[in-house]
Structure formats: structure tokens, C-alpha cells
Structure 1
């Protein structure tokens, strides 16, 4: 994804301190979006062993559902975002129950099916909304000056909402029966089933959470980046990079890698060239696959 703010690549009048502040602030905002996308991608892989290549579709649907709820049904924007995320989460559960459950053990089937669903969803969105880019309004209009760096209130809300959502996910995974069950299933599915855990229910709830997180990210970024039927591609690639860098199956690692990638891309866009920001993730992926394929942290759900 492009840098989340229109900025110059470090002009001569800008001090090193101001440049560093901009990189930290805008990199953090970018990292929040990546973290929401990647944690959902990691969660369903860690729990169900599914590499869901339709994950970017949830991101796209979160944006378009919010647009429809806000403009067509007149629902205020905050509840529209929440309702859109819930609806996308329900679609994720439906996908798991109807299509993935019968053939979950076949990784090839899952990969082919989820890719097909992603492209089919793109065509449906194209026929329904057209190819022209669209946006939804900011949650809050206006901007604030943070020690010389002008940031919109909506961008700051992205940081706050991400913190709340990720805290809620952490509490769910560490303080609820579902969280204990999800951890057990991620470690040993057969053993979890033997002790009475309803593994299919855990898979369904994990898919709901995965789709919900991606949908929230899609809705939050839509005031900043235009919605298009192809918008699912890049977030999927970013999620894959973050998951590999963070450590496959590690939620903590995914969050750390998301912010690291956000800062690294923003640094490249400011200091080197905005045209190279998308290359950074591919270089980072290659480096980790060659020198540290296990990623920053391990394979366990933590």
C-alpha cells in the first residue's frame, strides 16, 4: 500500500528530528493497518492450519460494506464500520462451514478454492460498484499538529482503534474458554478433540475473528485510500510477508513485524523514493526466507 500521507521525501529544509518524527508517526499508522490484517491471517493459520488466500477479500468487503451501510442505508459511520465487520465475520464463518470444512485437510484444495473465491468476489464487486475508486468520510474531520507533524484525527483514531481491537483479541485469547480452546487446538488438534474441545466450533470462531479483523482494517483505511475491486491484492501480500517475518503462527510476532514493516516502508518512502516502498516488503520476505525462515518468534499461538 502507498504511504498513508502525502509527503515529500525529506526536503532540505526539514531537520533530521522532524523527519524521524514523521517516519515514526506515519509508520505507526501504517503498521496498525498491517497488524489488523496480519493478526487475522495468522490466527486462522495457527488454529486451523489454513492458508486463506481469500483473506484480502475480507479487507475489501469491510470497505465496501461500510460504504453501502453508510451511503445507502444511512447508518452513522462508527456503527456502520462495526456492523460491516460483523457481517464480513459471518461470511468468513459461512466460508469455513460450507467450503473449507469438507476438505480442510487438503492444503491444495484450500489454496485453490480461496484464490477462486477472491477473484470471484472481485468480479462481483466490479459488477456491483464499478471500477471507479470510492471513499468513505473520515470518522472525525480535521487534523492536529504533533510537534510539527500534521496528522489527521482519523489517522490517530486508526491507532486508537487498533490498540483497542488488539487488546480485545489478547483478552479473548487469554481470558476466555475460546482462547484456551484455540491455544489447545493450535498445539494439538487431535489431543484437543480427545479432551472434549469442539474443534469445529473453534475453527468457525477463529474464521469469524480473522475476517472481522481484516474488515476493520479495510473500513478504517477507506477514507485515506480509494476502494477498488482490486484492493484485496496488496493487503494479502503484506499479510503474508508479516506472517513470515513475525514467525508463522505467532500473533505477537505478526504484530511486531507489522510495525517494523510499516516503519521500514515509510522510511524508504521518505528518504529514498516513494516508488520503492512496495519493493521493501519483497526484499524483507526474501531476506527472512533465506536467513531466518522461522521468523522473529516461533510457531505457537502466542
Structure 2
């Protein structure tokens, strides 16, 4: 049962982060490799507001998510937008977002230093579930993540702004002819994705230490989730996140922490050999 709970927590965190990555891919057709660094920035800003400034974790969470979203919009405006329409746009944005990741990690090390930091938990105490004891913070993550993802799905399917995101992702020229502000929609997608990354960082900061490299490993896992589930589908991304989270928890139990990344990548390769569009993707 402890392993199942651990898998559910990992799946919830991966779903939050991967959904932001998937949103940017679906709308713009590019991967934002600065996504993990945005998660780290969100955690550091939340720590600064909640601890040194003493304003509390909930205010820190709002500040961290807002800072990450703002940085996402800035990255889109400065490092992605100038290359729209170019034949090699995908390759260029890989390099520019990787550069943004390195810059943010080095800036975080200069501003906050290399000393380990940790955010307080959203809720103190422990929860017992069928003999498994885990923190109330982790239980809240498992409860909060589906609610946020359902809200994101409702936004994307039930609101005019959300439908404009989907329209731009399907056909930019047709969306522009219908009067949709395509550059503004791109900025919104980057901002939403970055905000989800910042939220993930705040939640993860109550479990792990916050360091300038906090987002590196989760970024790799989020990319595995997006590709494993099938590019371009929020539902597939969420489903794949929980599959990967459960798989990682059981692999750590049975084969150990050292071999788990290898097994995850090997499983991804096997899935893509037989299902090139991902486990839940459609041709």
C-alpha cells in the first residue's frame, strides 16, 4: 500500500508538470526545455516569500506560481516568438529554451546560493490509509492535482479562451482569420504551462530540498510522460503520468533506485516501437 501511495503522489506531480509541457506542445508545436527551471524558480520564490519575508506558505505559493507564469511569458516573447514561421523553428527553440534553463539555474545559484532549502508543508501531520502512513502534505497533493487538471480541462473545452488555444494549435492561419490573436494565445499557453510548473515546484518543495537543479529530473520524467502518453492530448498525458508514477514506485521497490531510470527509458522505447503515437495517442 505504501508503494501505491508513493506512485499516486509521483503520478499527481508528473501530471501537473507534464500537462503544462503538453499544453505548450499542443498550442505551439515546440518543447519548452526551460520548464524544469521554471518549476525551480517557483519553489525558490515561494520559499523567499514564506520564510525570509514571513508571509506564509499560501502567499508564497501564489507568488511562486505568478513568478513562474510571468517568466514563461517573457521566455515566449524573447526567445520563441522571434522565430515563429521559420522552417527550423523547432530546433531553434530547443536551443533557446535550453539556454533559458541554464541561465535561470545559474541565476538561482547566485541569488539563493547552493545551500539546501525546504518549503514548509501545506498541512502538517500524517495520514494512515490501509496500514500505509504518509504525510498529509502528500495526501493533499493527490487530492489537489486532479482538481486542478479537471479545471484545466474545463478551461480548455468550455471557455472561449480555451477553445481559442485549441484552435490555434490545430490551424494558426485559420484561427487568425477568425479573429483570434495568435501571438497572445501563444503567450497565454506559455504562461499557463509555466504556472503549472511553478505550482509543481511549490508542492515538490515540501517533500524534497529546493536546489538550483530541482527541476532537472522532473523535466526528464515529464518529457517521458508526454511522449509515452501521446503528444497533443491532455487526457493521454494525465493517464500516462499516473502510469509512469506507479511504474517508478514499483521499480524502485523491486529493482532499486539505480536501475529505475534505465527501466523507464527502456519501457518508453518498447512502447514507441509498437505504438509510435504513444500508449494513449491516436494516429
Q: Which TM bucket (shorter chain)?
A: over 0.9
- Over 3 Å counting, the alpha-carbon distance change for 1:45 and 1:116 in structure 2 is same
Residue 22 of structure 1, CA deviation: 2.0
Tell me what 1:3 maps to: none
Match of 2:235 among 240, 252, 266: 252
Matches of 2:161 and 2:109, distance apart in 1: 37
Tell me what 1:29 maps to: 9
Q: Matches of residues 280-295 of structure 1 in structure 2 within 5 Å? A: 280-295=263-278
Match of 1:70 among 35, 50, 55: 50
Matches of 2:254 and 2:280, distance apart in 1: 29
Tell me what 1:264 maps to: 247
Residue 299 of structure 1, CA deviation: 6.5
Residue 22 of structure 2 contacts residue 237 of structure 2 at CA under 8 Å; is this kept in 1?
yes
Matched, 1:84 2:64: yes
Give the 3-state SS of the residue equivalent to 1:144 in structure 2. Answer: strand
Give the 3-state SS of the residue equivalent to 1:159 in structure 2. Answer: helix
Residue 190 of structure 1, CA deviation: 1.2
Q: Deviations over 1:60-104 (max 9, x none)?
A: 111111111111222211221122101210111111122211113
Matches of 2:253 and 2:15, distance apart in 1: 21
Give the 3-state SS of the residue equivalent to 2:54 in structure 1. Answer: coil
Matches of 1:274 and 1:229, distance apart in 2: 22
Tell me what 2:210 maps to: 227
Over aligned residues, Cα RMSD in angstroms?
1.4
Tell me what 2:84 maps to: 104
Q: Matches of residues 237-248 of structure 1 in structure 2 within 5 Å? A: 237-248=220-231
Tell me what 1:14 maps to: none
- Over 3 Å counting, the alpha-carbon distance change for 1:297 and 1:147 in structure 2 is closer
Matches of 1:135 and 1:257, distance apart in 2: 28
Tell me what 2:190 maps to: 207
- Over 3 Å counting, the alpha-carbon distance change for 1:266 and 1:251 in structure 2 is same
Residue 132 of structure 1, CA deviation: 2.5
Residue 215 of structure 1, CA deviation: 0.7
Match of 2:21 among 2, 19, 41: 41
Tell me what 1:175 maps to: 158
Tell me what 2:175 maps to: 192
Matches of 1:138 and 1:261, distance apart in 2: 24
Residue 242 of structure 1 contacts residue 261 of structure 1 at CA under 8 Å; is this kept in 2?
yes
State which drifts further: 50-59 or 279-288. Answer: 279-288
Q: Scaled by the length of structure 1, what TM-score is found?
A: 0.89
Tell me what 1:95 maps to: 75
Give the 3-state SS of the residue equivalent to 2:224 in structure 1. Answer: helix
Matches of 2:272 and 2:166, distance apart in 1: 26
Tell me what 1:164 maps to: 147
Residue 244 of structure 1 contacts residue 293 of structure 1 at CA under 8 Å; is this kept in 2?
no
Matches of 2:237 and 2:261, distance apart in 1: 18
Structure 1 residue runs of 5 or longer lacking an equivalent are 1-20
- Over 3 Å counting, the alpha-carbon distance change for 1:151 and 1:170 in structure 2 is same
Q: Deviations over 1:41-66 (max 9, x none)?
A: 00001001121111111111111111
Structure 2 residue runs of 5 or longer lacking an equivalent are none
Q: Matches of residues 129-140 of structure 1 in structure 2 within 5 Å? A: 129-140=112-123
Q: Scaled by the length of structure 2, what TM-score is found?
A: 0.95
Residue 229 of structure 2 contacts residue 278 of structure 2 at CA under 8 Å; is this kept in 1?
yes
